[in-house]
């Protein structure tokens, strides 16, 4: 009897092994997966490669496995592409196939499972959201409507820094003041409103909640539970925190900004119907027409808070750091502005187009210090082909844009901060993706629509600072620290450095 049971068990085990070998053979024949480290059951490659999938670690892996490789992170497939040709395939040639986004467990919470625009899959909802957001945010008309506001904001920064005696002596963390400026630049567009000072209680609340959102979402700490579903219960506390931050933020957006704008708009309508609309007026019109719902409105505000403010601020901060650490480049830029505009004549948006060295400094900052070095993760909804390999449906696809722009096989001394490259050997390369080696804003369907605002804001801000001050490291230091801090797909400066800003006298 016992022998019979044993025989049956062995037979069962034998059949299970045969079936699983057959399945894996069939799979192997069906799928030619990209190269990569050999995965182990349940964990995949997670134990080998760890949590920190930043652009530098992924570059090292590309050197080992090639321009396309696959990582199995627990249950999730991650394909990384690292050549201009493959980037073109993902973003342009097969832009529809790879035009969706993955969300992990945390982004699911912050975006209401894709009720926003940035993290939604490629399809009807995305098209509608992108169309609704284009007129109020992403046209040259918006730039012309708001540029005076941005010029005013940097003017106020210059005045505040001049008034602060520490700025010219021991130095200040100028980023703090510039953060207020960036919020004001975007809140003027969104709500026709601004915050008076860094101590404004509403600004402090907003800044704190946005900061928590960024930290929670960009952290690697929750990867284990996202990759390996059986570990997900251990994330309960983390996800609860995310849920609370999300609810508080959306409530704040609604109560203090969206509802407030509705109230103002209803009174203005009667008093002065010719007054220019702000973005929220357009968005609320779309809601009234039934094109989107109230949640979508709040997620648009959420998207602008993360996609527009921090990215541009990080780029400004990197630009300042490079100018401080390269005084001759800073001086050359100052001389260009002085000679084209005249000393002390404040730079305006139309001036930025007349200043090629300023444009080159901005491009070089975005090349070496790319704020979104892996772009926002893409995804294929269906099985797809890439570089001769099969990419299983719903794979996360990362384009290592930082490596494309910093690969010595493609660029002359890429580790060097040298704006001249964009006036010399790379003079034809623009930030809008006309060259697949240089994609700071991506390219194609899911590329950054905010480039139209970001470039002039960077130009006005960096130009005005260099015009008004000599930017130096603090006393006793000859350089400021430019260590990097990467996140799920972000890259910013690790330490917000103290900078001396010596006012220029005209
Ligand atoms: C220096 C500043 C900025 C940089 C470096 C930057 C970079 C990027 C990158 C790399 C992407 C993803 C592209 C892709 O996945 O293929 C992106 C997407 C996006 N950006 Fe920006 N961005 C900046 C500023 C802005 C601003 C100012 C706004 C809005 C006013 C904005 C709004 C967006 C939106 C809405 C998306 C998602 C587009 C979509 O999924 O269809 N960005 N950005």
- Tell me the CA–centroid distance for residue 3 and ligand 1, in Å: 67
Q: Render pLDDT for 48-69 as a digit per residue (tens, 0 to 9).
A: 999 889 999 999 999 999 999 9
Two tokens, residue 22: 């057959």
Question: Which of the listed CATH numbers 3.40.50.150, 1.20.59.10, 1.10.630.10, 3.30.950.10 matches domain 28-503?
Answer: 1.10.630.10
Max mean pLDDT among 6-15, 273-282, 478-487 falls in 478-487
pLDDT exceeds 90 at position 16: no
Neighbouring C-alpha atoms within 13 Å toward the C-beta of 30: 9
Residue pointed to by tokens 């240089």: 438
Q: What is the pLDDT of residue 129?
A: 97
Q: What is the pLDDT of residue 269?
A: 61
pLDDT exceeds 80 at position 280: yes
| Ligand 1 pocket: which of 80, 101, 311, 314 to mutate (most atoms within 8 A of CB) | 311
> Is residue 275 very low, low, confident or very high in pLDDT (cuts 50, 70, 90)?
low
Q: Render pLDDT for 26-47 as a digit per residue (tens, 0 to 9).
A: 445 578 999 999 999 999 999 9
pLDDT exceeds 90 at position 404: yes
- Tell me the CA–centroid distance for residue 26 and ligand 1, in Å: 41
Establish whether residue 130 lines the binding site of ligand 1, counting it when its CB lies within 6 angstroms of any ligand atom: yes
Positive or negative: CA dihedral 462, 468, 473, 479:
positive
Three-state secondary-structure class, residue 429 = coil
Q: Render pLDDT for 432-478 as a digit per residue (tens, 0 to 9).
A: 999 999 999 999 999 999 999 999 999 999 999 999 999 999 999 99
Two tokens, residue 338: 């002085």
**Alpha-carbon separation of residue 434 from 417, 418, 422, 457 (angstroms):** 21, 20, 13, 21
In the DSSP assignment, the letter for residue 99 is B
**Alpha-carbon separation of residue 126 from 138, 200, 279 (angstroms):** 15, 35, 18
More confident residue, 37 or 14: 37
Q: Ramachandran region of residue 192, left (φ > 0), alpha (ψ -120 to 50) or beta? A: left
Q: 126-135, 222-231, 305-314 — which is least confidently predicted?
A: 222-231
Q: What is the pLDDT of residue 506?
A: 86
Two tokens, residue 140: 């040259």
pTM: 0.93
Q: What is the pLDDT of residue 199?
A: 96
Q: Render pLDDT for 193-224 as a digit per residue (tens, 0 to 9).
A: 999 999 999 999 999 999 999 999 999 999 99
Q: Render pLDDT for 118-164 as a digit per residue (tens, 0 to 9).
A: 999 999 999 999 999 999 999 999 999 999 999 999 999 999 999 99
More confident residue, 144 or 16: 144
- Tell me the CA–centroid distance for residue 441 and ligand 1, in Å: 6
Share of the chain above pLDDT 70, in %: 92
Q: Is 487 exposed, middle or buried (0-12, 13-18, 19+ CB in 10 A)?
A: middle
Question: Which residues does residue 391 pair with via DSSP β-bridges, in sequence order?
Answer: 384
Any binding-site annotation on 448? yes
| Ligand 1 pocket: which of 142, 396, 450 to mutate (most atoms within 8 A of CB) | 450
Query: Rounded distance, CA 457 to CA 147, Å?
Result: 8
pLDDT exceeds 70 at position 272: no
Chain centroid, CA 18 distance in Å = 48
Nearest to 412 by CA among 359, 362, 443, 367: 367
CA 445-135-119 angle, 5° bins: 40
Nearest to 392 by CA among 400, 403, 380, 401: 380
Average confidence (pLDDT) over 260-276: 73
Average confidence (pLDDT) over 424-437: 98
> Is residue 270 very low, low, confident or very high in pLDDT (cuts 50, 70, 90)?
low
In the DSSP assignment, the letter for residue 420 is G
Establish whether residue 312 lines the binding site of ligand 1, counting it when its CB lies within 6 angstroms of any ligand atom: yes
Q: What is the pLDDT of residue 1?
A: 41
Mean of per-residue pLDDT scores for the chain: 93
Nearest to 378 by CA among 142, 83, 80: 80
Taking CB atoms within 8 Å and a gap of at least 24, the contacts of 159-165 are 161/468, 161/469, 161/501, 161/503, 162/468, 162/503
Three-state secondary-structure class, residue 469 = strand
> Is residue 20 very low, low, confident or very high in pLDDT (cuts 50, 70, 90)?
very low
Average confidence (pLDDT) over 362-374: 97
Q: Which atom of ligand 1 is nearest to the CA of 309?
A: 27
Average confidence (pLDDT) over 331-342: 98
Q: Which atom of ligand 1 is nearest to the CA of 119?
A: 40
Establish whether residue 114 lines the binding site of ligand 1, counting it when its CB lies within 6 angstroms of any ligand atom: no
Average confidence (pLDDT) over 258-266: 90
Backbone angles phi, psi at 413, to 5 degrees: 35, 65
**How many residues comprise the chain?**
506
Share of the chain above pLDDT 90, in %: 88
More confident residue, 225 or 11: 225
398 near 377, Cβ under 8 Å?
Answer: yes
Residue ranges of domains in the chain: 28-503
Q: What is the pLDDT of residue 92?
A: 98
62 near 400, Cβ under 8 Å?
Answer: yes
> Is residue 23 very low, low, confident or very high in pLDDT (cuts 50, 70, 90)?
very low
């Amino acid at each position: 009897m016992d022998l019979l049971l044993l025989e049956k068990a062995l037979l069962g085990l034998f059949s299970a092994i045969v079936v699983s070998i057959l399945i894996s053979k069939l799979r192997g024949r069906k799928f030619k997966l990209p190269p990569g480290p050999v995965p182990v059951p349940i964990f995949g490659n997670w134990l080998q490669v760890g949590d920190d999938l930043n652009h530098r670690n992924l570059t090292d892996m590309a050197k080992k496995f090639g321009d396309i490789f696959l990582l199995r992170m627990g249950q999730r497939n991650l394909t990384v592409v690292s050549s201009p040709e493959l980037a073109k395939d993902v973003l342009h040639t097969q832009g529809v196939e790879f035009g969706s986004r993955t969300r992990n467990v945390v982004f699911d919470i912050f975006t209401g499972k894709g009720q926003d625009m940035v993290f939604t899959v490629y399809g009807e909802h995305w098209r509608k959201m992108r169309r609704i957001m284009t007129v109020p945010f992403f046209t040259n008309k918006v730039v012309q409507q708001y540029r005076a506001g941005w010029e005013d904001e940097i003017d106020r920064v210059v005045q505040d820094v001049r008034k602060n005696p520490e700025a010219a002596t021991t130095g200040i963390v100028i980023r703090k003041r510039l953060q207020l400026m960036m919020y004001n630049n975007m809140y003027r567009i969104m709500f026709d409103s601004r915050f008076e000072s860094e101590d404004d209680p509403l600004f402090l609340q907003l800044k704190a909640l946005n900061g928590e959102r960024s930290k929670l979402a960009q952290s690697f700490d929750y990867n284990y539970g996202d990759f390996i579903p059986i570990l997900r219960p251990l994330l309960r506390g983390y996800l609860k925190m995310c849920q609370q931050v999300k609810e508080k933020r959306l409530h704040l957006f609604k109560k203090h900004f969206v509802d407030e704008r509705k109230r103002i708009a209803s009174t203005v309508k009667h008093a002065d119907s010719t007054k220019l609309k702000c973005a929220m007026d357009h968005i609320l019109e779309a809601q009234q027409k039934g094109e989107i719902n109230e949640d979508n409105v709040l997620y648009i505000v959420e998207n602008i808070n993360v996609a527009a403010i921090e990215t541009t601020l990080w780029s400004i901060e990197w630009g300042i750091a490079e100018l401080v650490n390269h005084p001759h480049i800073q001086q050359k830029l100052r001389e260009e502005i002085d000679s084209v505009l005249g000393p002390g004549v404040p730079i305006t948006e139309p001036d930025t187009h007349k200043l090629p060295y300023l444009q080159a400094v901005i491009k070089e900052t975005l090349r070496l210090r790319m704020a979104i070095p892996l772009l926002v993760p893409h995804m294929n909804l269906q099985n797809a082909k890439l570089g001769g390999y099969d990419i299983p449906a719903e794979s996360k696809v990362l384009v290592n844009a930082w490596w494309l722009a910093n690969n010595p096989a493609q660029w002359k001394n890429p580790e060097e901060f040298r704006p001249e490259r964009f006036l010399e050997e790379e003079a034809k390369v623009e930030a809008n993706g006309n060259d697949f080696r240089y994609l700071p804003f991506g390219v194609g369907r899911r590329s950054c629509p905010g480039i139209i605002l970001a470039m002039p804001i960077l130009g006005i801000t960096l130009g005005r600072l260099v015009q008004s001050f000599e930017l130096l490291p603090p006393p006793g230091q000859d350089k400021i620290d430019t260590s990097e801090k990467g996140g799920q797909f972000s890259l910013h400066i690790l330490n917000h450095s103290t900078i001396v800003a010596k006012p220029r006298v005209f």
